[in-house]
Amino acid sequence: MKKRAVFLDRDGVLNRTIIRNGKPYPPASVDELEIMPGVVDGLQRLKEANFVLIVVSNQPDVRRGITSRSTVEDINNSLAKLLPIDRFKICYHDNSDVCDCRKPNPGMLIAGAGDFDIDMASSYMVGDRWKDMEAGISAGCRTIFIEQGYNEKQPKVFDYKVSYFTDAVNIIMEGEM
């Protein structure tokens, strides 16, 4: 039997973003890493319900020379120690690279699904930006938008909109009953 996954955006979903002019940015280092409320308990509940937990994260600041790949990996390693994440899929490209992995493209979700033999139609993508929702839709997942009130383009299409990570977990778990 195929497994189900929850694909998780990283910044603004698992950890708090740094907000400048209303737009979210990733923590610059592990020192700025702060896990969002409800994430530790929520992921534990999903894990107990046998969901595979796959982080799918765009990190274009590496390509832009703003941060280093090792800084991104340090943050991921810290998250991996605190949270029951099964796999990290990271896109280090920018738009000019025209890669398949950078969200809104679904490449990281498709690769993650291949790693674990995942049924997309019964899986979820949880994110805080329009590219997360578009990637989830393109991959054939159900999508949950955690609205953070950023001053930027908003997603037009998604299955659910919530304010907190715990709400997203509740929606996923309701489908279990």
The catalytic site residues sit at: 9, 11
99 in contact with Zn ion (CB under 5 A): yes
Given the complex with Mg ion, which of 25 and 116 has the nearer CB atom? 25
User: Is residue 93 a contact point for Zn ion (CB under 5 A)?
Assistant: yes
Q: Which of residues 112-131 bind Mg ion (CB under 5 A)?
A: 128
- Residue 11 near Mg ion by CB under 5 A: yes
b/e burial code for range 138-167 (CB count within 10 A of at least 16 → b): bbbbbbbbbebebeeeebeebeeebebbbb
Of positions 5, 12, 141, 169, contacts Mg ion by CB under 5 A: 12
Q: Which of 7, 9, 52, 112 binds Mg ion (CB under 5 A)?
A: 9
Residue whose C-beta lies closest to Mg ion: 12
Residues 151-170 close enough to bind Zn ion by CB under 5 A: none
> Residues 102, 103, 129, 142: which binds Zn ion (CB under 5 A)?
102
Q: How far is the CB of 89 from Zn ion (least distance, A)?
A: 10
Q: Which stretch binds Zn ion (CB under 5 A): 48-56, 85-93, 152-160, 167-175?
A: 85-93
Question: Would you tell me which residues interact with Mg ion (CB under 5 A)?
Answer: 9, 11-12, 128
Question: Would you tell me which residues interact with Zn ion (CB under 5 A)?
Answer: 91, 93, 99, 101-102
